[in-house]
Amino acid sequence: MAPLTKKAFASAPSAGLLEPVCFSSHEECSQRGSFVAAAALSAGILLGTCRITSCEQQKQANAVKPNLFSIDSNSTNVGINAVSSAPRDPMTVYAKIAIKREIEKTETSPEPVAQATSPKAAVGAATEAAEVVSSKYINEMTANELLIEEATRKAKQHSGGLKLFSGNGNMALSLEIARHLGINLGRATVGKFADGEANVVIHENVRGKDVYVVQPTCPPVNDNIMELLLMVSTLRRASARRITVVIPYYGYARQDRKMQARVPISAADVARLMEAMGIDRVIAVDLHCGQIQGFFGPRVPVDNLDGGIVGLDYFGSKDLYNPVVVSPDAGGVYRAKKFKEGLSQKYDVQDIGLAMIVKQRARAGSVDQMDLVGDVNGCDCILVDDMIDTAGTLCKAADVLVANGARRVFAFASHGLLSGPGNDRIANSKMEEVVILNTIPTSPQRNANEKLTELSVAPLLAQAIFNIHAKKSISALFK
């Protein structure tokens, strides 16, 4: 039998392959194989141990002591083997001030804070608080931080969170509202192009601002509505945070339902137009009917301010004898009742009467017959309505009251449109005085009418804007 020959190869640690080894017999091969296997196993264990030891040494070599890194206070470079006594405090000066304020609040008893209830009070409180804070913490800021704080204060002063803009509907009322709020009217161009199209340009930054647009939709109704819609669209595209439209007089309000076939509900259509442009809130004064608030969606709240509270003080100061509040139609009984209750509560008058006139219209703007419900004999009567258009209904109602023995007849309305012959009818009527609000811009003819008295609704609107901006109650204005 031929001798069995096998070749074994072993690898040296640093050299290449060894010379081949020949075995003369099978037994010798087995013995040598066992020896080689044992040697290889020992070498593998030794090699693995060496590798583990080498890895541990490498980790220790790469490890860096914590105090070898430091940040130079005068440089932004990070160096190795630099000497540092302590790491820099990561908190800014503003964070330290905030923490210090919280600690002072917990250590000391809380002081009563006076809340602002009017625009002027808010400005005074903010100024006083700013002076206290600046004087208290000015020594804890560096020169650069003081410069940043001063620039921030100036930016907030000139571009606060509230912006007030106005269209061409009633600029005088808008300026009066801005004066009561203590702010400037926003800079904007609202005009017309050569072909009659509306031209709207906003010249101020309104990004993230709480914007209020004052625009009554009085005559010219369509032009004012288009200006309002385009102003809202412009402000929405300019990233205003919230847009509130202040509509002292809501046009198309009398078309609030279908009285006959094939007619529009214009009050609802105008509301949908405004909502489609992206308004967030509506402030109105004495809507013709309360259901107009429901024409806007639930995402657009409507604040219907009662203009009658402006006239309460005026008539409360008059020497009235047996006063009776009269509604010129059946739909205004609730409004007349609120006016009567306001006079009774505010001036503690318990003998104020309530009457109503039932009218039958032959057509729009023409009254066929009027009947009185109530007793007005020897009394001073106050006709209360939401608007006076052509004054035909009002003057005929005054004639009915005088015919039934009324001593004197006054009238109060929130909106004095006085279209067509309205101003002349009032001047030649049997009424002593007609009181209206300035929700609609006045005219020289109205100023010349001695029986016409105009009160300002600007304080009421300014207080409503301030309460909404400050997240305060609106209903508190009417208590």
Give the pair of three-digit tokens for residue 2.
Answer: 């031929």
**CA dist., res. 61 & res. 225, Å (int):** 79
Give the pair of three-digit tokens for residue 385.
Answer: 């309505």
Chain CA centroid to CA 75, Å: 45
Residue bearing tokens 């339902």 = 257
**CA dist., res. 255 & res. 270, Å (int):** 10
The catalytic residue among 318, 338, 359, 451 is 359
354-371 as b/e, with b when 16 or more CB fall inside 10 Å? bbbbebeeeeeeebeebe
Q: Which residues contact 309 (CB under 8 A, 6 or more apart)?
A: 342, 460, 477, 478
Give the pair of three-digit tokens for residue 461.
Answer: 């609107």
Q: What is the CA radius of gyration of the chain?
A: 43
181 and 164 in contact (C-beta within 8 Å)? yes
Residue bearing tokens 């009662």 = 306
Active site residue 209: no
375 and 353 in contact (C-beta within 8 Å)? yes
Looking at this protein, which amino acid is placed at residue 190? V
**CA dist., res. 86 & res. 66, Å (int):** 11
**CA dist., res. 24 & res. 32, Å (int):** 11
Q: Report, as residue numbers or ranges, the catalytic residues.
A: 359
